[in-house]
Amino acid sequence: MRAYRLRTLLLPTLGVAYVLIAQTAPQEIFPFFKWNLFSSVPVTAQRVHVKIHQIDGEELSPFDLVKDRATLRQRGFSVPYSMYSVRTLNMLGACLERSPASHWCRNIRADFERTFLTKVRSTSYRVIRLRYDPLELLRHGKYRERIKLASLHFERQP
């Protein structure tokens, strides 16, 4: 009888504990989740773009590191497109904006170059933050704001 009673308390206990842990944790603790998917309307959005304008000494018309996949493949880049790579770009943008000279930012930059620039000896690139209205961007191709965060040069160490 005791085991049965304990089971009847399982749902309320588990439910309350789940909601409390999921909602109050400052960061997501796997496997608890807030389930707040699409709960707010993204009227404005932003993303970080990397424009490459020089590879191995050759000047190019700038192309986008994630978006222009055809050019990337022609140039021999592997495009590790995943949420991890998008997050790496966002983190690169965030650190260049806040503290570009910090140790934290150097690590993120190294991680970015290790992930994306695997097949080039040297390259110059610009990091840009774009702010946009998602519907406006799709309908008219317009960004609301472009902020150049940094112009950087990558040279592979021998």
Q: Which positions lie near other proteins, rule CB under 8 A?
A: 1, 3-4, 7-12, 14-15, 18-19, 22, 28, 30-31, 33-43, 45, 47, 66-67, 82-84, 86-88, 132, 134-135, 137-139
In the complex, the smallest distance separating the C-beta of residue 53 from other proteins, rounded to whole angstroms, is 20
d(CA 153, CA 47): 21
- Cβ-based nearer residue to other proteins, 11 or 101: 11
Residue 62, SS3 per DSSP: strand
Which distant-in-sequence residues (6+ apart) come within 8 Å of 34 by Cβ?
Answer: 22, 23, 28
* Per-residue DSSP letter, 67: T
- Cβ-based nearer residue to other proteins, 24 or 40: 40
- Cβ-based nearer residue to other proteins, 4 or 153: 4
3-state helix, strand, coil in the chain (%, to 5): 40, 25, 35
